[in-house]
Structure 1
């Protein structure tokens, strides 16, 4: 920069005007042996004319051309030499011709320590500038991404509300790029509900079509003591139970596939408590004193069937007491599972018999009423919801049934 300023000054004024060091913008050129120097030498006169900064005082800068330093682009040279005080200098020089005004050698020099200090300060400033620039770019990018993804987060929340049963459809205004997706999701939810409703209707029609002929057969065979009639009654009753099981299973599977169904657990359990306390007056049936605010991610009828079958089984086998408790446990993907635990003080089951008890139609005691399908239905239906049924030993001495279901 200083060299270009001196070249411009000499080219414009020739030898008629001295260059004031103050115009170079650095007062160090005016301090004796400050480490910053400039020098202008006229080469084409018999006696070289020299102008120099005050910092050189009575000394002169060495010429790089005489030291064998080759010229670079534009005739400029750069190299090192000894300064007035013996310190190493970084020297830059250039030879220019100003026509009739003569031939000049212009030199600017500074100590290597000063140059390295300035370079270090420049590098620090540059690093700080780059860090600030990078921080600004990162902050701007983060803001843009956050702002751009905000509609997608709203859409995600709306879909989660539908899955939990808190909403029936996606509402709200969305950008033009996302609005078609929201509309398609609403159509998908509606189509799912229509499919489930048609499945329910078809299963109901099938149940009516099958149960009526079976009831006729049972009634016709009921009035006869003939062994054949007894066999017909036995087999038709078995057929009716099997038909009921598979129809219930198909109906439950259709309901489990519905999107957005959710059931308040408290009111459902209160209704079950009233029913079973009336049916089993000789049993002490204990429910939670205060019903927790929990929700089952599924149909109310399925929840009644699941818990009702387990309560019915416990009341049949209990000596005097049945106890129900509720809880939540963490599950995969940040979701929770509803845990329904039912204990009885009956005879219980040996570990090797518990899996057998959940087999379809398996009755471990023929003296107890029923078709043997209750636990099997609970296991199948809870599995359709992504849950599970486990049988364990109860602290009351009998059997503990642990039912895990998705929580809304």
Structure 2
């Protein structure tokens, strides 16, 4: 997919900008070089025609200029074309001037020698506008025609508009050719870039499989340039797996080592005098709950960021609902869940959080409990902890029981707080749910349900099934 953060789009944009800039520079350089060449060729043509006129004219027996220059160009014979030749006597040589039929009786303005001096070859070139509005370039020189020193000024004029039209035709053809070449290059570059970046796309899809729990490492053939990255990612995944396994083992060892001493304390407390035993028993139970809570938090922290921890929500919720229906045959449980929802958390933690909510709802409801699991509308889930954007699953449990007053909701979250001492329970369930949700950077809320009872909402991290 192309976007502002797409490597493909970035490379295509840079390649397009560079190609466009290069083609513009090439077009300008070629056009400038062609103009220089055309102007030089035009000047050389006028010089050659000027000396053809000089070689075709002489002084006749009647002391007049005679000759009929044949320059091989009909434009010198057609009127108002901008192509002329002119021969004017100089000094005391009082002969009649000669000019091409194309000029007729018109004149061409001649700048002074001070304004346009002769070069070292005794030639000068200057642009003027003729009587017909043509932009012409004039080549001029002065030649001594005989031994008596009689001289004449020779001028040949060529139409600059013809040269400019030729340059325009060349430029138009050049720009069209370069535009076609540029578009073709863009297509070829795009295809080459897309083909060259396909290994990265394969790596992205392979990572998507890992995120969805369909694979445990990057598999496939990758080019030499991408292979080190693939190897590093696989090494990171393996290191992550070892860390999680080690943390789980240490948590299990600690739980096992504390279970027996706490059980002994509880048994001994029950055998003591009630005035002393109840205090020891309550404190031992509190120790047991605290130890279990912190063990859970340590275990969750060890595997929370793992890309391998995935739980499919649908089968877990269906199994929990089946258990609750068997345990509470007089209550009705309704389940609604988005198909394909996958949570980025341990199955055990998901079961414990939702199980606690279902137990509370079944304990306090009158006849019915509603469970739903849907994708959260906001990808950042409001004020959930800062970090990269991710997806969330909203799990809600509602009942038609008496519910809680607004001032009671905050108290219900506190560890060991109970509002109905006549019902079984230790008052730890909701605080455990909140702690587990917080460890996964999620959120847990209680509010009045529109069905009359209490609504418990869990916001838990999820991954999408269509990552690839």
Pairwise same-fold verdict (TM > 0.5) = yes
Match of 2:374 in 1: 327
RMSD, aligned α-carbons? 3.7
Between the aligned partners of 2:415 and 2:157, the Cα distance in structure 1 is: 101
The alignment status of 1:234 with 2:274, answered yes or no, reads no
Q: Is 1:89 the counterpart of 2:135 in the alignment?
A: yes
Seen in structure 2, the aligned counterparts of structure 1 residues 55 and 139 have a Cα distance that, compared at 3 Å, is farther
Name the CA distance, whole Å, in 1 between partners of 2:395 and 2:117. Answer: 92
Q: Post-superposition shift, 1:218?
A: 1.1
Match of 1:317 among 359, 364, 382: 364
Distance 1:401 1:88, change over 3 A: same
1:388-403 to 2 correspondences below 5 Å: 388-403=443-458
The alpha carbon displacement at 1:13 in A equals: 10
Structure-2 residue corresponding to 1:197: 245
1:115–1:19 CA distance, 2 compared to 1 (3 A): closer
SS of aligned partner of 2:309 = coil
Aligned to 1:343: 398
Residue 44 and residue 230 in structure 1: after superposition, are their counterparts in 2 closer, same or farther (change >3 A)?
A: same
Which residue is 2:292 aligned to?
A: 244
How is 1:120-269 mapped onto 2 (pairs within 5 angstroms)? 135=183, 139=187, 142-269=190-317
Work out the CA distance in 1 between the residues paired with 2:365 and 2:156.
Answer: 110
Flag structure 1 segments of 5+ consecutive residues without an equivalent. Answer: 23-27
The Cα of 1:300 is off from its aligned counterpart by 1.9
TM-score, normalisation: structure 1: 0.82
Residues 105/350 of structure 1: CA separation in 2 closer, same or farther (3 Å cut): farther
Q: 1:228-256 CA distances to partner (integer Å, 9 max, x unpaired)?
A: 22322221122112212222222233332
Label 1:223 to 1:48 Cα distance change in 2 as closer, same or farther (>3 A). Answer: farther
**Are the aligned partners of 2:116 and 2:124 in contact in 1 as well (CA < 8 Å)?**
no
Q: Check the 8 A contact 2:368/2:400 in 1, yes or no.
A: yes
Question: What is the CA deviation profile of residues 249-308 of structure 1, one whole-angstrom value per residue up to 9, with x for unaligned ones?
Answer: 2223333232122222221122111111122223212223x8723222222222212211
Contact 1:382–1:405 (8 Å) recurs in 2: yes
**1:7 maps to which of 47, 63, 66:** 47
Deviation at 1:119, TM superposition (A): 7.2
Once residues 73 and 301 of structure 1 are traced to their aligned partners in structure 2, the CA distance between those partners, rounded to angstroms, is 101
Give distance in 1, aligned partners of 2:305 and 2:311: 15
Task: Kindly state the Cα deviation for residue 346 of structure 1 after the two structures are TM-superposed.
Answer: 1.6
Contact 2:78 2:102 in 1 (8 A): yes
Instruction: For residue 204 of structure 1, report the CA deviation from its aligned partner.
Output: 0.5
Using a 3 Å threshold, how does the CA distance of structure 1 residues 387 and 207 change in structure 2: closer, same or farther? Answer: same
Whether contact under 8 Å (2:398, 2:455) holds in the other structure is yes
Provide the secondary structure at the position in 2 that maps to 1:55.
Answer: coil
1:407 counterpart SS class: strand
Contact 1:196–1:257 (CA under 8 A) maintained in structure 2: no
Q: Report SS of the residue matched to 1:348.
A: coil
SS of the equivalent of 1:342 reads: strand
- Asked if 2 retains the 8 angstrom alpha-carbon contact of 1:164 and 1:297, the reply is no
Paired with 1:103 and 1:169, the residues of 2 have a C-alpha distance of 96
Distance (Å, rounded) in 1 between the aligned partners of 2:207 and 2:177? 45
CA change 1:122–1:362 in 2 (3 A) is: farther
In structure 2, runs of 5+ residues without a counterpart are 1-40, 57-68, 381-387, 464-468
Provide the residue aligned with 1:385 in structure 2. 440
Q: Within the alignment, does 1:270 sit opposite 2:310 as a pair?
A: no
Tell me by how many angstroms 1:176 deviates: 1.5
The answer to whether structure 1 residue 407 and structure 2 residue 462 are counterparts is yes
Match of 2:72 among 16, 20, 32: 20
SS in 2 for 1:186: helix
Contact 2:393-2:461 within 8 A present in 1 as well: yes
Q: Is the 8 A contact 2:266 2:284 kept in 1?
A: yes
Work out whether residues 54 and 154 of structure 2, in 8 Å CA contact, stay in contact via their aligned partners in 1: no
Question: Distance in 1 between the 2:178 and 2:200 partners?
Answer: 33
Higher mean alpha-carbon deviation, 136-145 vs 185-194, is at 136-145
Deviations 1:99-135 (A, max 9, x none): x9x99845334377x7877777777666666665665
**Shift, 1:394, TM fit:** 0.9
Q: Taking structure 2 as the reference length, what is the TM-score of the superposition?
A: 0.72
User: Which has the higher mean CA deviation after the structures are superposed, 193-202 or 387-396?
Assistant: 387-396
User: Using the alignment, how far apart are the partners of 1:282 and 1:232 within structure 2?
Assistant: 38
Distance 1:12 1:303 in 2: 103
For this pair of structures, how many residues does the alignment match? 396
Counterpart mapping for 1:352-363 below 5 A = 352-363=407-418
CA distance in structure 2 between the aligned counterparts of 1:61 and 1:212, rounded to whole angstroms: 122
